[in-house]
Amino acid sequence: MKVLVSEKLSAAGIERLREDLDVDVRSGLTPDELLAAIGDYDALVVRSATKVTAEVIERGENLKVVGRAGIGLDNVDVDAATRHGVLVVNAPQSNVLSAAEHTMALLLAQARNVAQAHSALIAGSWERERWSGVELHGKTLGIIGLGRVGTLVAQRASAFGMRLIAYDPYVAAGRAQQMGVSLVDSVADLCARSDFITIHMPRTPETIGLIGAKELEASKPGARIINTARGGLVDEAALVDALNGGRLAGAAVDVFENEPVTDHPLFGLSNVVVTPHLGASTTEAQDKAGMTIAEQVLLALRGEFVPYAVNVDVGADIPETVRPYLRLAQRLGRVAVALAGSGMESLRFEYHGGIAEHDTRALTLSGLKGAFSAIVHEPVTFVNAPLMAKERGITVEDTKSSQSLDYVNLVEVRAGGEDETVSVAGVLVGKRDTERLVRVYGYDLDMSFAPIMVFFRYEDRPGIVGIVGTLLGEAGINIANMQVARQSEGARR
């Protein structure tokens, strides 16, 4: 079998692939050259520069697996790969330590003006007073996102004697307390209380511009921002304005909205430190990524279980009876977590009916993928899904029952928090196994899943549905479908 490696991969990773496969290393391919070449290969290994588009996947007639040597998958069309039965694998644990250490490096560089003082000195200027800095000890570090990297940063910042606060609505308060971190209710609150702010969130439609003009205006005077996560999480234009206006004392940026970039308004500011996306650029991280991705590609091409498969529904060893329910479990997990909101402490996956007679572990993992995919920094896999729950202090359990009173097979997810437990349930219907949402908050309904879903609970009295429709209409929101359910007349809907 043939493998195309389109970007620089560690020598150890290349050698591991060559033990069993025919490997071509062709760095710097243009998009057209990649399209022309991909049809000859069974596997494609990339890093962050190569764009694995739907067209590339369609042209890959023999393509069985795409390997991303790193965490992010912004450059791979995972949905297209899934449609074509192409496995996508990554190396989600390879660079978390390097990313955390780079965050600390930028934190210190920003506090002590290291880069600016270095440049001034080698240019012939001895400017001790101009580049005087601040200590980390006793300062408040605000961490947005307490995933793997955020947790590692918290541990290291604690050793410097910093006070730690964090915004992450999906971390249990008890878990944060164990780490010596105080949780806050909003990004704006965190900005208002922090001397230093560091971001460790995924780039999603919900997190783009997470820190914008409003949050920067609310920030503590003299605060400093560090971003080693993803470009676009901080509104770059608003950041420039806040720095020029004196609201912020400085910023350290490793990632940008459009990369690569060599000309940017931030580059001309003396209180800014910038690096060209170096978070994962250590020898150790690249070696780990290369070896990990080589092993995952080899497993995939042998048709064996692939622990770091991102699109789990293409993975091997999943019973055919169970496979159609993977996407349903994923969607239910996402809805349950969205409705549960902050303070979630447990996730329970229940399988009722004939499906309970089969191995449903993949369904639970798929449900965890849906639960965490929009709230964590790295893609969710078979291996790291349970770890993500554990790191956030969220217990995970599943139960089975061969009895299902209303449906042949039913999947239910319960997300428990401090105040209440949210339950959602779904089924598959028809010859095409269409996913249907049939229970929310204990109310029976029957509706299809949609990218945008809104749920209301209210007292059952005349006129409420009209009020809701009017409010949405006035906001320019069109209602494609509506379901109304109640447990008894006059009760809460």
Residues marked active site are found at 230, 259, 277
Written as six digits, the tokens of 94 are: 């390879």
Written as six digits, the tokens of 42 are: 């069974």
Rounded (to 5) percent helix, strand, coil in the chain: 35, 20, 45
Per-residue 3-state assignment (H helix, E strand, C coil) for 157-175 = HHHCCCEEEEECCCCCHHH
Instruction: Say if residue 214 is exposed, middle or buried (CB neighbours under 10 Å; 0-12, 13-18, 19+).
Output: middle
Written as six digits, the tokens of 476 are: 């320019």
Task: Report how far apart, in Å, the C-alpha atoms of 469 and of each of 79, 460, 463, 474 are.
Answer: 33, 15, 10, 9
Q: In what helix (H) or strand (E) does residue 82 lie, and over which residues does it extend?
A: helix 78-83
Would you say 13 and 69 are in contact if contact means Cβ atoms under 8 Å apart? yes
Q: Which of 431, 400, 411, 430 is nearest to 370 (CA)?
A: 411
Written as six digits, the tokens of 461 are: 């009295």
Conformation bin of residue 203: beta by default, left when phi > 0, alpha when psi is -120 to 50:
beta
Q: Is 400 in a helix, a strand, or coil?
A: strand
d(CA 424, CA 439): 5
d(CA 120, CA 474): 57
Would you say 262 and 291 are in contact if contact means Cβ atoms under 8 Å apart? no
Q: How large is the angle between the packed helices 283-301 and 11-18, nearest 10 degrees?
A: 20
d(CA 322, CA 313): 10
Strands 421-429 and 434-440: antiparallel
209: Cα within 13 Å, side-chain hemisphere: 7
Q: What is the C-alpha radius of gyration for the chain, rounded to an integer number of angstroms?
A: 25
Q: Which of 15, 54, 94, 19 is nearest to 301 (CA)?
A: 19
